[in-house]
Each structure stands twice: as C-alpha cells, then as structure tokens.
Structure 1
C-alpha cells in the first residue's frame, strides 16, 4: 500500500509532463537523469538507480551454521527535483522502493520516503530548506550520494552514530573568501530530533546543530564533494575539511534516529529524557583519480537526575535501573545509547581503464556503559576492508563492486541467532548499480 501511495505522489508531481504543458527534454546522459524544461523556464529532473546485492558472512569455526548468506535489493530509488524559472525556489522528492533501510542495523526503520523538501535560494550564497533531508551534523559519508559510494556499503561509523535524515529547517551557505578560490561552507540545522518524519508522537525537544566546511583549493569538479570516488580525475588537488556538532534536547532512542523507541519518566509520571551530544571532524581529498576520506565522531549524553522510571517495550513502567547488581540510573540509560567514539579512514585509486582499488579501516571505541558493547550488533572494534570496482562508463551510471571485510570481534560477540562467535567475522559483498 505504501508503494502504491508513493507512485501516486510521483505521478501527480509529473502530471505537467503528461498534460497540455509544453515540456521539452533538454538532455540525457546515461546515469545522470532526464532533464526537462518548460516554455516558462521552469526545470524538472527525473533520475533513479537500482542496486541488487549479495552478502556472505562467515563466523569463526567450521560449523555450517556459522555461514550466513543474504540476497536482496539493496536500493531501488527514484528522485524528482525541479526549480522555478527564476531558480529562487526548488524542491526534491526521493523515495526508496526496496523496503530496506540505509543503515541496516539495530533500530533502523524501513522507510519509503527519503527526501522531501522545498528550498528557497535567498541569494547566491545562502539558501533555506524546510522538510526532510540528510543533516549536516552527520559524518561526511552521509552527505555522499548512495549511487557514488567507493565501496558496496558505508562504514560502521555511519551505522553507529548517524541519524541519516531529519525533518526540520536547514540553512546552507557558500562563501568565497579569497581570490585564489578558498571557500567556507557553513550549515545550520534545527530539526525535530527524531530522525526521519515521525508519524507517531514527537518525543523530546528539538535538535540544534551545524557544520563548517573549509575548501582551501577551491570547489570540486562535477559535485565531487558529494561523491566518493574521483571518477572526474581532479586536475588539481581538492580538499574539504569539516567540523560538526549537534545537541539533541531530549532523545527517545539510541542516537536520535527512531522516535519513541526508548522512554523514561520522572516521579510525576511525566516524560523525562536524556540529552545527546555529537561532535565530529572529517575531510576528503581528491587528485587525478586518487581519493581519501577520513572521519572521527564522538557521542556523549547528559542524564537528568529527574529520571526515576523507564517504560518497557510492552508499555508497562519499571523503577529498576539495575546494572551488575546495583541501581544506577545514569549508567543504565547510557548503556542503551551510542556512547563512545569511532574513526574511519579509506582511500582508493581509479585507473584510466575505470577499475578502482579501494581500502578502508574503521575503529570503534565504546564507553564502559554504551550500546556499542552490544554483542549482536556491535562489540567489534576493528573492520578491515579491501574492494575492487569496475565502472562501466565515465560517470556513476553503472558499476560492479565487490569487497572483502575482516571484522575483529571482541569477547562476548554473537552471531545473528545470538550464538557466541570465537573472535572474528569474514564478510564478502557484491553489488551492481545501474542508473538512468
């Protein structure tokens, strides 16, 4: 039913293309979407891609039960965007019909609606956006288009700390600060603090955050700041460095992604929630086919002394906050949140024959009390990945990617069935991307 509704919305938005309005196809390059324009100057772009995916995971041991296979449609996305004739007002609608979530772990929700926003271009340097979109307070990899990822999957830093998309008000600027081409790109976000569009009750307060990016060597070619691999082969070195911070005033989930999944009360039975803070540093460098991405994120929380009760999954209320035989509210609450830090470093090179060799190292360091110690989803401090990609054209329209990951699992880690594993995992991934 959700899929039918989504297709209906897209059909309504594309009605001008099918009616009496004079719409012309301006250009089409494989993998870069269909570009239309109207007699009055407005523009419409329709694009999309499909990603069939295979994953094989092997746990330490010779038992066949330690082998896990998964075949699925990783992404199936359609995007409709456009702008008015004067280019002051623009919009975007992006949906995913695959039924899978961007971060395929713990509390991720399967959502069809990805982006849905209206943007007003105040002037050449500043724009204001209202609606749902990726947030500047996530790590840099979340600002990278899924179709242009360097490896089949995003890093575990993204899985642990990101909210992926949020609903709210966003201000984005771009300022040239020197004749040589230095740029500053500040962003501010005020959102609901609950991740994607909350159809149920909106818990807690707002989330406030921002990002500041510095580009010392000018802008990237062909939106390269938002694409991982350097398929454009930058002729001169390009670098972007950024810092981001966010404060979520009352979070009702592990990191502000799923509204209402974890709730607490005070003595009067009123909702009382912890605050969640996130700080990050990152950079991306590209030059003549070589690219490098580095990210660091730290998550922390403030737990109010007013919290005296917790709401169980069945809706009942408990006053027990016991850990290791002792009652401790603060540690119990933090034990259900993403407390700790992580960093990700990856690099790759695209040869002139459009074959790319890539590598990644990701490290997670959990606080003593943190959901990052969970044996099933996390509790794995080190990830080592090697990948190879073949691009079937000089853009991101079609490519085949394979990767192999070794996971250093800490003591107490489990497989998907909850059975203990003996120290490591091996993960093979294969994904095919075709866009239009």
Structure 2
C-alpha cells in the first residue's frame, strides 16, 4: 500500500510538471505573419523555454508523385519523384516581437542540378521579423516577395498538383532584402493590406553578383467583406466553407533594375542585364464550398528582350516577356472530395514571338482532403496546346497522382 501511495504521488508530480511545461504562452506568434511563405494547418512540434525567452516550431512536408506524360511526336513515359521535401523552423527569440522563419528544401527538383561555381539551393527562406503590433510586420532576409497570389501561397496549399504555366514564367518568387507589411484585417468589415519590398533582384542564394540595380515591389490587397476564415487567402479552395461570401482583389507591381536572369529572380543567365517591369492582378471568391480565382500576370522590358553573347553573335538568350490569364473554379463536397478546373492562356511578347510559343492549358483535378491541405490525395489531367509563330502547333498532355503529407 505504501509503495502504491508513493507511485500515485510520483505520477501526480510528473503530471503537474508536464502541465506546466506544455502550457500555452498567450504571447506566442499566433498572429499571422503575412510574409511567411507557407500555409499551416497546425503548429507542428513546438518547444518553448521555461522562461519564455524563445520558441521553436518544427514542421515538415513532402509531395510524392507519379506522372504519365505524352508529348506530340514523342513516346509517352512515366516519371516518379519526390517533388518537394521541406523542413520548416520558426519561432521567436527574446520576445514574441522578434521572430524568425527558416525553410530548407531537399528534393532534387527544389535543389536543382549541382553545377561547378554555383551555390546549392537548399535554403529557401531565412528571414527575421520584427512585429511591433498586429498591424505591422517588418522583415529582413530571404523570403517570398509580395507578388502574385498563387506564388505567395505555399505549394502545400494548392488544389492541383502544381501552379499554372503563367506562374512558372512570370512569377517574381523569392529574393533577399527588406519588406514592410501594413495589415488591417477584420472579421466582417472592409479590410486592406499594403506591402512593399526593396530587394537585390537577383533571386535566392546568389553571392558574388553585386551590381547597382535593385528590385522595388509594391502590393495592395482589398477584402471588402472582411478577412477569410483561417487566413483563407493563403490556400486554395473553400475547405473552411465560408458562411458568408469572402472576396479579395489585389494588385502588385515590380521594377527589377539591371536584372541578370531571364525571369528576373529566376531562370538562366542573360548576356546583358535588362530592366524588367512585372504586373500582377488577382481576384479570389469563396462561399459555401465554392471557390473561384482569376489572375493576370505580365512582364516587359525597357530594352529589347533578346540579349546576345558579345563574344559569339550566334549565341543569345532572352527575357521571357508577355502576359497571361488564369481562371480556376472548384467545389468541395461534404465528403471532402473536391472537383477543380483551371484554364490558362499565355501570350509571349513580340520580341520573342519567333523563339517561344503561345500556350493554352486545360486542367481537371480531383482532390481528397484527409486532414485539410496537410494530408491529401490529388489526381490531375492536364492538356497543353502550343502555337508557334510559323503556324505550327503541338498538343501535349499528362495525368498525375500525388500524395501530400506534413505537420
């Protein structure tokens, strides 16, 4: 009996200690950080120091996929790969006003081919935030720029297995620099956000490539009916099943001075630098399981988009200029199955008409959400129509199955 009493006291002591250890700190970083480049269902695995001087959240996610592709005039083939494998660390140090976010990538498609003299692209995000109050986020480091909606959303928050053809060609993606976000989001009344960035314009993980050009980015977001449930502007589809209509309209502009890559922050190297101007307009509507999105993206250059190797006039490379529209519609059933359709058009600029085709893309997808966007099964059928300047055309298609899981 004495041993039993001692055992009960020991269990009670451990239980009491555990409750103290896991007690939630009400001053944690629950407030949305608008620059964080991910959608999160939960908080992952968290550690908070006993004196509350630091907090660390650990999260991961991966995308495993298999694709059958059939391009015109080519034999079809299968491809199986780990499309994305990400590790995320975030939290605060010293005070909840000083936060950090780190995201590392390990999948071959994320890291890219290792080339002599070039950096390995493991680091996706490494950024420090200062959040003096709920209306301001100030950041310094490498993270996503306030560009088009689909790129700002995490790839883990997508309905289809990947972003659109226009995002692939016109997005401004990540960069190193300063950002300031002024946020005014409320539940059921008019809301608005202003976001600005001053960055290098060279993209992520670039060293030894200094120049006198910087990229200036500005964005405005309007939410006339108030903020979306669970920060619903940061994931696709109405998995929150909005009880009232929620609508967002946003516009962004970037001027990237003396850029050295074909897509500004992305792409291969140009033979001469070019100043690029990018425009993004997005609209999103969600209501009772229905979700509709539309976007416009464009890129133009002040000078001719084509650059020529000064040592060999037969070699050239070009800025991908042009414009495109995306239209996406979906409905999620009570069984958490979702039907998604997307149509995209892409028209290249006049400077590169002879070098790149205009494209139309049709996609149909079925997604089963097991645990919102953090655990889902996705299937997709996509058809591409490529129209070339000489009047010829090609039709390509693929079918894909993907599993996404994470914490």
Deviation digits for residues 20-44 of structure 1 (CA, Å, limit 9, x no counterpart): xx964859x9865123322222432
Cα distance, 1:250 vs. partner? 0.5
Deviation digits for residues 102-143 of structure 1 (CA, Å, limit 9, x no counterpart): 999xxxx9721111100001332112100011110x211011
Match of 1:364 among 346, 355, 358: 346
Q: Secondary structure of 1:167's match?
A: strand
C-alpha distance in 2 between matches for 1:70 and 1:25: 46
Normalization by structure 2: what TM-score? 0.82
Cα distance, 1:69 vs. partner? 2.4
Q: Is the 8 A contact 1:32 1:397 kept in 2?
A: no
Q: Secondary structure of 1:249's match?
A: strand
**Which shows bigger deviation, 205-214 or 225-234?**
225-234
Q: Is the 8 A contact 2:145 2:217 kept in 1?
A: no
Aligned position for 1:48: 60
User: Where does 1:22-33 land on structure 2 (aligned, <5 Å)?
Assistant: 24=22, 32-33=43-44
Q: Secondary structure of 1:229's match?
A: coil
Q: Secondary structure of 2:169's match?
A: helix
Q: Is the 8 A contact 2:172 2:264 kept in 1?
A: yes
C-alpha distance in 1 between matches for 2:327 and 2:286: 14
Matched, 1:392 2:370: yes
Matched, 1:160 2:138: no
User: Where does 1:309-320 land on structure 2 (aligned, <5 Å)?
Assistant: 310-311=308-309, 317-318=311-312, 320=313
CA 1:40 to 1:276, structure 2 compared with 1: closer, same or farther past 3 Å?
same
C-alpha distance in 1 between matches for 2:241 and 2:283: 18
Normalization by structure 1: what TM-score? 0.77
Matched, 1:128 2:127: no
C-alpha distance in 1 between matches for 2:108 and 2:258: 29
Match of 1:112 among 122, 144, 159: 122
Matched, 1:199 2:207: yes
CA 1:249 to 1:25, structure 2 compared with 1: closer, same or farther past 3 Å?
same
User: Where does 1:283-432 land on structure 2 (aligned, <5 Å)?
Assistant: 283-303=283-303, 310-311=308-309, 317-318=311-312, 320=313, 336-370=318-352, 374-375=355-356, 379-393=357-371, 395-411=372-388, 423-432=394-403
Aligned position for 1:59: 71
Q: Is the 8 A contact 1:263 1:311 kept in 2?
A: yes
Matched, 1:222 2:230: yes
C-alpha distance in 2 between matches for 1:392 and 1:431: 13
Aligned position for 1:97: 106
Q: Is the 8 A contact 2:385 2:393 kept in 1?
A: no
Unaligned runs of 5+ in 2: 1-19, 26-39, 114-118
Aligned position for 2:46: 35
Q: Secondary structure of 1:79's match?
A: strand
Cα distance, 1:175 vs. partner? 2.1
Match of 1:87 among 73, 96, 99: 96
C-alpha distance in 1 between matches for 2:355 and 2:293: 27
Superposition RMSD in Å? 3.0
CA 1:411 to 1:262, structure 2 compared with 1: closer, same or farther past 3 Å?
closer
Match of 1:213 among 203, 221, 225: 221
**Count of residues in Structure 1 that have an aligned counterpart in Structure 2:** 367
